Amino acid sequence: MNEPIQWIGSRPTGLQITAIVFVGTIGILILGVQPIVLAALLAEQHITLTQLGHAASVELLSMGLTAALAGAALPPRRLRAIAMAASLLLAYGNWQTIFATGETVTALRALTGAAGGLLIWVTSCMIARSSAPDRWAGIYLTVQTLAQFILATVMSAWAETGASMEFGLLAVLGLICAPAALLLPSAFAPLPKTAGQGSFAPPSPRGFAALAVAFLVMMFIVSIWVYYDPLARHAGLTAKISDQAVSISLACQVLGGIAATVLAGRLRWYPVFVVCALVDFGLVTLLGSHPPALVFLADAAVYGFIWLFILPFLVPMAIEADPSRRSAVLVTGVGLLGGSLGPTIVAMIISPEDMTGALWLGGACLLLSLLIATALRFTHERSSLQVNVDPHNT
C-alpha cells in the first residue's frame, strides 16, 4: 500500500489547482449549511418536516449521482465549459428556492444538487490523479468545510433575515464560481485501466466494496447531521443551541481536516477507521441520552472533528482496494449518494415526538461499514494495470 505513486498525467499549475479546489468547494457548500437553510424554510412554512427530509435527500442524491456518473462515464474534457454551465445552474436554482414552496423546493434542490455534483466531479478528478490523494482529499475537505463554517456563521448572525438572505447568498456564490471556471485546465489525463479493458472500465469487485464503505459512512454521518435541529429540540434544547452546534461542528470539522492533511501518509487508513468508528459509536449513544446543552455542543464538536478526519483516509482505502483509482474518483460522489439516502429513510421512521430512529439507522450503517472495511483490510487481490503517469511530477 505504501508504494510511491505519481501524478497521472501532468500536474496542474498552482493557479489551476486553486481553481479546481474552489469550484469543488462552491459545489458542495450546501452540505455544511443544510440544517440552517432548511430549518429557515421550515420556520417560514415553505416546507413541512417531511418535506425537509425530502429536500435534503433529493439534493444530496442528485449531487452524488451526478458526481458518480460523471466520474464513471464522462471524459474529463471541456472542464471550463462544464464548470461554468454548472455554476450558472447552481445560482439559478438557489435563487428560485427563495420563492418556492412544498415539493417545488425539492425539485429545485435536485437541480442545484446536479450542478454541484459536476463541480465536485472536477475536483475529484484531480484528487484521484494526484501523487498524494489522501493529502489532497484532506486539503479539499478542509477548504470546503472552512467555507461552510464561515457561511454558517454569517447565516446564523443574520438569522432574522430568513431564507431569502440565505439562498440569495448561495446564488451569488454560484455566480462568482462561473468566471473562476475559466482558470481550470482544459482536460485531465485518462485513468489507468486493466489490460484488455475498453474505454469504459468499471471498478473491480474490491473497488465496489470500498465504495460501499464510503456510501455507508456518509449515510451514517448525514442521517444524524441533517436532523441536528430536531434532535436538539427532542432533548429539550433551543434552536439557538442547535445553530451553535452546527457552527461548532463545522469549526471542528476544519480542525479534523487539517489534522488529516498533516497526518496523511503517516497513518494507515485502517487503524484510523477503527478508532474513529469506536468514537462515533460513543457519540451516537450520548445523543440518545437527551444530553444537556454543554454536552450536546461537545458531542457536536467531536462529531465534526471525526467527520472530516476520517473521510480523507477513505481515498487510500479505495486505492488499496482498486489500484486503477477508478474507485477513488467515485468516492465523493458515492459518499454523497449514501448521505442522500440516509435522511429519506430517517424521515420514514421518525416523528416529532421520537427522533431515535435517526440514531439507530446511523449506528447500523457505521457498524456495517466497519465490517466491510475490516474484510478489505485483511484480504488482497492482484491486478495488472496500464498506467499513464508523468515521471517528472511526483
Number of domains the chain is built from: 1
The predicted-structure confidence for 173-211, as pLDDT tens digits, reads as follows 999 999 999 999 999 988 776 544 544 567 788 999 999
Residue 284 lies in a domain: yes
- Mean pLDDT over 43-70 rounds to 85
Q: Residue 372, CB half-sphere, CA atoms under 13 Å: how many? A: 23
Domain span including residue 23: 14-190+202-380
Would residue 193 be called left, alpha or beta, if left means φ above 0 and alpha means ψ between -120 and 50 degrees?
beta
Residue 277 counted as domain residue? yes
Is position 156 within any domain? yes
Residue 388 inside a domain? The answer is no
Nearest to residue 359, comparing CAs of 281, 304, 295? 281
CA separation for the pair 253, 100 (Å, rounded): 31
Q: How confident is the model at residue 24 (pLDDT cuts 50, 70, 90)?
A: very high
- Whether the per-residue pLDDT at 283 is higher than 50: the answer is yes
CA distance 332 to 121: 8
Q: What is the mean pLDDT of residues 266-270?
A: 89
Cα 213 vs. chain centroid, distance in angstroms?
Answer: 14
CATH code of 323's domain: 1.20.1250.20
Query: Contact, 128 vs 328, CB < 8 A?
Result: yes
Q: How far apart are CA 153 and CA 173, in angstroms?
A: 16
Instruction: Report yes or no: 179 and 59 within 8 Å, Cβ to Cβ.
Output: no
- Section 355-370 average pLDDT: 91
213 within some domain:
yes
- Please name which of 97, 112, 105 lies closest in space to residue 53, comparing C-alpha atoms: 105
Cross-strand bridge partners of residue 230 = none
Instruction: Summarize pLDDT for 312-326 with one digit per residue, the tens.
Output: 899 889 988 888 888
Question: How far is it, in rounded angstroms, from Cα 37 to Cα 34?
Answer: 5
Which position has the grid cell 498524494?
132
β partners of residue 77: 187
DSSP state of 203: P
- Confidence (pLDDT) at 200: 56
Q: Is residue 240 part of a domain?
A: yes
Phi, psi (degrees; rounded to nearest 5) at 187: -165, 165
Whether 2 maps to a domain, the answer reads: no
- Could you tell me if 155 and 37 are in contact, meaning their C-beta atoms sit under 8 angstroms apart? yes
Residue 252 in domain:
yes
> What per-residue confidence (pLDDT) applies to 384?
45
